[in-house]
Every structure is written in C-alpha cells, then in structure tokens.
Amino acid sequence: MQFALSGLLSATRFAAKHWLFTRKSGFQAVASLLHNSFLMKKKRNNSLAVAVSMLAVLSFGVSPVQSQVPGPVLDTEIVDSVKRRIMLDPGVNSGVLIVSDNGVVTLSGTVSSLGERRRAAEITSNKYGVTAVINNLNVSPTNVADSILLERLNTALINDIVTRDIDPAVSVVDGKVIVSGEVPSLAERNIIEKILFNIAGVREVENRIVVTVPDRVEDEALENRIEARLRSDVLVDSSLVNVSVTSGIVTLSGSVPSLRERDRAVALCYLPGVANIDYGDLRIVYLPEPETVVIPDATPLSDAEIKAVISESISYNPRVSSANIGVTVDNGVVSLSGKVATIRARHEAQEATLGTVGVVDVINQIVVSPNGSLTDADIAAAIDQALLLDPYTESVDIGATVVGGNVTLTGKAETPYERTRAAQIASGIVGVTAVENTIVVTVGNGPAPDALPSADEGTVSDIDLMTRQAIESELRYVPGNVAVKVENGIVLLQGTVNSYYTRKRVENIAFFEGAKQVINNLEVSR
C-alpha cells in the first residue's frame, strides 16, 4: 500500500494543474502515470488497484476514461522522429546527422545559418524523451565581407524597437560576431542575441553583454515572484521545480519531464532584477520520482488572480512593457486593450496571456498605433531590407506594398516556412499596422480546407498516414481529447484541450510532424 499511495501522490501532483481546466484531462493524466508506475512495479498490482479505486472516489464522480499510456521513449524512436521532423522542416538541412544515447541527442553536420542551427536544436528538444541536445552543427553561411556584415547587424539592431536605444558594441572578425555592452535585464540580452543569430552571413556569436540591474530587487521578493509565475503557468509543474535566489542569481533545481518544460521554466525567470540563471541542476526526468512529490494547491485562479498574473507578465516583456495595456477577465475570458507600436508587440502581449492557468479565451483588442512620421515608402524599404538580412528570405522573390501602414506581401516562396517567416519579419517593423500575406507557395500546395474529407470518406496516402500517426504519438503527452485527420498534408484538429497554450502546442506538433497546413478547430475547456 505504501507504493500505491506514493504512486497516487505522484499522479495527483502531475494532474493537479490539468484539473484546473478539465477533470477529464486530469483523470487521464493521473491514470497515465499510475499505469506507468504499474508497469514498473507489477508485483504491487493489488495495492495499485486500491489506489485507483481511491482516486475514482476523489475525482468527484468522474468515470475513468480510457487514454493512451506513454511508455519509455527508446533511442530508436527519438532518432526516427527527429530525423523525420528535420527532413520535413524546410528551415533545416535534411542532411543533419542525429544520434541518441539514453535520450542525449547529438546533432552533427553542416547548416547554412545560426538560425538554422538553433532551429534544429529546437526541433530536437520538442521531442519527448530527449533529455539533452549536444549541438555540434557547423555553420557555413554564404560569404559576406565583415564590413558589410557589420552594417547589416547595426541596421537590424537599429530597426528593432527594443534594441534601437540600447546601442550595443558590435564587431565582426571572419564572420564571428562579438557583441558587448550593458542592458537592464536578461530579456533584452536574449533579444539582441536572437537578432544577431538571424542575420545572413553570421557564423558565430559571442555574447559579452552584461546585465546591470538598475534597481536591485530583494532576493526573497524575486524568489516569490518566480515561484508565483511557475505556479500560474499551464506548462510547468511548479511542484517539482525548486527556486533559490542569491544576489540576483537564480538557481533552478529539481526535475521536469522534457526540455520544453525546462526552457519554459527558465524563460519565466526573465524578470527585472535577475542578473543570471543557473539551471544546471534542473534535470530532465521522464517520470517523476514518488519520494520527491509534493502535492500543490489545486485551487483554480480567480479572475482577479488571472488579471494580476497577466498584467505582471506583460510588464516584464520589453516589447510591450512601455505600452498601457488594459486587462479584464470574466470567467476565464481575457480581454486585452490599449495601443502598441508593432504587430509583434500585440502578438507577444497575447502570448503572455495564453500561458496562464485558467485562461479559456482571449479577445485581443489591442490596436497597433506606431509613433512617428514614417511614410509608406519608408516602411516598405525597411521591410525589403529586413527580408534581405534574413537567411531564410534573402533569396526569396518577395515584394511588399504599403498603404497607410497596411502591408501586402506578394511573390513566391518554395516552402510554407518562408511564407510564414516573411510575415513574421514584416510584423516586427515599426509603422506596420496590418499584414496581408498573399505569397504563393510553389511547392507542395494541397487542396483547399473545404476539400478535407469526412471521417468516412476518401483514402489515406502513406505519407498522410505517417503524419497522422506521428502527431498522435506526440499527443500521448498532451492533456486533452484530440482527433486528427490528414489529407494531402492538410491537418484538421478537432476535440478539446485544457488551455489555449496547449491548443497552440498541438498545432505546433502538427507542423513539426510535417503538416503543410493546419486547421485548428480545438476547443478550450476550463
């Protein structure tokens, strides 16, 4: 009975946050972990049965729901999945070599940009079962003279609304970029690094920027804020993550079930007053250890608490912190209002909202209202320049016309990623108030969305079948009830999930597994 109780506590801890949204999803998560515990301790099956019966009583009368049970992830599965994802992803060279040893994945080979190198690591880390990524990919970009590359880098930093006033020192030697200076928070440091990574011709970036906290925040206050952010996040299980702060340096320890959750936990520490983050002791553990379990408070957040969490998250984002964003919450439905300078800022304000526990819908009424007197010609020139600086769009035939700040992108792209990337770039340009993406993808176009078959119609191609099976395999780890249909690369998602963050996560899984287009009809239940 001792094991049954510890298994029950472990499962309850894992499912508590999901229960905030939907009891059904919570029970599935609990049943999943209990079943895994059963596989590891078959001899204790009588005690485990008692624990399951106890849990059924505690679950407010909810009947057990049959769910897929994620088992151990084998290295062969990891390699096959990552290889397939990279092969299907137009943003990464399909010649990347992948090796996995007990979940530690090593990437080797050659890519054409630092952005591609980072994307390969992102694709890999999004696979469950991966505990670490050793990125040995070499970057061999098109040759760009150091003087021209320096000009590109300074232009990109000046054109970004966050970095234009920071004025970091940048130097280039044989394609290697060294950047130094001071910034008030880790968020700005990270933004600068991402900008430099996505400039065509950059081989390597050495980031020497120092975080100089203007107003020191007490360590205890920082610790409390970070713990509160972890508790209110839909992805991170705060009960397994320990937080300590000493002289502004945050140390995270404990365990999380995937690299994705670890990266999310680290990102939640990007607060004013944090000088650095040490997460070396935050381990990737596929299944939790029962003896480490602490049952968290499963009380759902009130509307007032949701509002406070969202308002604070927005205030920590350098792209939107200076804007006056209004937040109202009514039974989990969040309304955002106010004005921001770029479409990207509007999007990031919404992203800060989606990851909050208890949010079931977002009504984004934020208006893009750039300050300044940029003409349409100035905006068009800035977009053209930004497209030429990016390694994914520098050689793509894309044009931008601007009327009153409204941008229409035209031309042809070889992949959906290039099309999407162009819209992302345009949305970050100051002066752009709307983007209409009419770029035509010339490779792999499928039928219109209304051409999707019903559940009982049509035949499924081998590729579509592989795509559906790959998506469904990853959905074993996602709380919710999701049905997947695929035809000619178009993926239709139907069913329910526990949060808008999970809804987007499922959509991303579909794209990672090779979807050319995703029609996301998933509903969010609180």
| Residue 478 domain-assigned (yes or no) | yes
CA-closest candidate to residue 74, choices 148, 127, 5:
127
3-class DSSP assignment, residue 254: strand
- Phi and psi based region of residue 247 (left: phi greater than 0; alpha: psi -120 to 50; beta: remaining): left
Residue 37, pLDDT score? 38
- The answer to whether the CB of 256 falls within 8 A of the CB of 265 is yes
Angle in degrees, CA 421, 82, 90, rounded to 5: 25
3-class DSSP assignment, residue 11: helix
Torsion angle, CA of 278/75/13/245, rounded to 10 degrees?
0
Question: Does 86 lie in the same domain as 48?
Answer: no
Q: Does 286 or 25 have the greater pLDDT score?
A: 286
CA-closest candidate to residue 313, choices 273, 268, 358:
268
Residue corresponding to tokens 């010649």: 95
- The answer to whether the CB of 78 falls within 8 A of the CB of 124 is no
- What residues form DSSP beta bridges with 483? 494
* CATH number for 502: 3.30.1340.30
Distance between CA atoms of residues 174 and 453, nearest Å: 54
Express each pLDDT in 475-511 by its tens digit. Answer: 877 777 899 999 888 999 999 887 777 888 888 888 8
Is the predicted pLDDT of residue 14 greater than 60, yes or no?
no
How is residue 349 written in tokens?
């304000």
Express each pLDDT in 388-446 by its tens digit. Answer: 888 888 888 899 999 999 999 999 988 777 888 899 999 989 889 999 999 998 864 43
Is the predicted pLDDT of residue 317 greater than 50, yes or no?
yes
Mean pLDDT throughout 108-112?
Answer: 91
How is residue 315 written in tokens?
């205030």
Going by C-beta distance under 8 Å and a sequence separation of 6 or more, which residues neighbour residue 196? 114, 153, 156, 170, 177, 179, 202, 205, 207
Rounded to whole angstroms, the maximal C-alpha distance in the chain is 74
- The answer to whether the CB of 453 falls within 8 A of the CB of 487 is yes
| Residue 237 domain-assigned (yes or no) | yes
Is the predicted pLDDT of residue 117 greater than 60, yes or no?
yes
| Residue 68 domain-assigned (yes or no) | no
CA-closest candidate to residue 492, choices 480, 482, 500:
482
Mean pLDDT throughout 131-141?
Answer: 92
Residue 71, pLDDT score? 60
Question: Does 457 lie in the same domain as 509?
Answer: yes
| Residue 298 domain-assigned (yes or no) | no
| Residue 275 domain-assigned (yes or no) | yes
Residue 437, pLDDT score? 93
Distance between CA atoms of residues 390 and 418, nearest Å: 10
- What residues form DSSP beta bridges with 281? 253
Residue-level length of the chain: 526
- Phi and psi based region of residue 269 (left: phi greater than 0; alpha: psi -120 to 50; beta: remaining): alpha
The secondary element (H helix, E strand) that includes residue 185 is none
319, 348, 368 - which closes a domain: 368
For residue 216, name the pLDDT band (cuts at 50, 70, 90): confident
Residue 226, pLDDT score? 94
- Which range among 92-96, 289-293, 315-319, 468-472 shows the weakest confidence by mean pLDDT? 289-293
Going by C-beta distance under 8 Å and a sequence separation of 6 or more, which residues neighbour residue 218? none
Question: Does 285 lie in the same domain as 223?
Answer: yes
How is residue 314 written in tokens?
């927005």
Centre a 10 Å sphere on the Cβ of residue 66 and count the other Cβ atoms it contains.
7
Strand ranges inside 73-190, DSSP E:
97-101, 104-111, 132-139, 169-173, 176-180, 182-183
Question: Does 165 lie in the same domain as 109?
Answer: no
Going by C-beta distance under 8 Å and a sequence separation of 6 or more, which residues neighbour residue 256? 236, 237, 240, 241, 262, 265, 282, 283, 284, 285
How is residue 240 written in tokens?
């397994």
Residue 365, pLDDT score? 94
Question: Does 512 lie in the same domain as 470?
Answer: yes
Question: Does 516 lie in the same domain as 487?
Answer: yes
Question: Does 454 lie in the same domain as 426?
Answer: no
Show the DSSP H helices in 214-365 as ranges: 219-231, 259-267, 303-315, 343-354
Residue 217, pLDDT score? 85
| Residue 21 domain-assigned (yes or no) | yes
Question: Does 360 lie in the same domain as 395?
Answer: no
| Residue 167 domain-assigned (yes or no) | yes
Q: Does 9 or 309 have the greater pLDDT score?
A: 309
The phi, psi pair for 337, rounded to 5°, reads -140, 170
Residue 209, pLDDT score? 94
Question: Does 453 lie in the same domain as 517?
Answer: yes
- The answer to whether the CB of 416 falls within 8 A of the CB of 514 is no
Is the predicted pLDDT of residue 526 greater than 70, yes or no?
no
Please give the residue range of the domain that contains residue 118: 75-139
Is the predicted pLDDT of residue 227 greater than 90, yes or no?
yes
For residue 7, name the pLDDT band (cuts at 50, 70, 90): very low
For residue 128, name the pLDDT band (cuts at 50, 70, 90): confident
- What residues form DSSP beta bridges with 406? 403, 434
* CATH number for 316: 3.30.1340
| Residue 124 domain-assigned (yes or no) | yes
- For the chain, percent of residues with pLDDT exceeding 70: 79
441, 462, 481 - which closes a domain: 441
Q: Does 88 or 452 have the greater pLDDT score?
A: 88
Question: Does 330 lie in the same domain as 288?
Answer: no
368, 398, 420 - which closes a domain: 368
Residue corresponding to tokens 């009830």: 481
Question: Does 514 lie in the same domain as 458?
Answer: yes
Mean pLDDT throughout 233-251?
Answer: 90
pTM for the model stands at 0.71
Mean pLDDT throughout 26-48?
Answer: 36
Mean pLDDT throughout 141-157?
Answer: 91
Is the predicted pLDDT of residue 24 greater than 50, yes or no?
no
The phi, psi pair for 211, rounded to 5°, reads -85, 115
For residue 295, name the pLDDT band (cuts at 50, 70, 90): very low
Question: Does 339 lie in the same domain as 361?
Answer: yes
Residue 352, pLDDT score? 83
Express each pLDDT in 162-191 by its tens digit. Answer: 898 888 999 999 999 999 999 988 989 999
For residue 282, name the pLDDT band (cuts at 50, 70, 90): very high
Distance between CA atoms of residues 168 and 38, nearest Å: 55
How is residue 196 written in tokens?
């430099």
3-class DSSP assignment, residue 204: strand
For residue 299, name the pLDDT band (cuts at 50, 70, 90): low
Express each pLDDT in 323-378 by its tens digit. Answer: 789 999 999 899 999 998 889 889 889 888 888 888 888 999 999 887 767 899 99
Is the predicted pLDDT of residue 290 greater than 80, yes or no?
no
Q: Does 294 or 278 have the greater pLDDT score?
A: 278
How many domains does the structure of the chain reveal?
7
How is residue 174 written in tokens?
């044989």
Distance between CA atoms of residues 224 and 398, nearest Å: 48
Residue 466, pLDDT score? 85
- What residues form DSSP beta bridges with 521? 494
Express each pLDDT in 39-69 by its tens digit. Answer: 333 333 333 333 333 333 333 332 222 334 4
Give the range with max mean pLDDT: 225-229, 295-299, 358-362: 225-229
Q: Does 467 or 286 have the greater pLDDT score?
A: 467
Angle in degrees, CA 504, 506, 511, rounded to 5: 95
Residue corresponding to tokens 């390597």: 204
Give, as one character, the DSSP assignment of residue 296: P
Residue 294, pLDDT score? 40
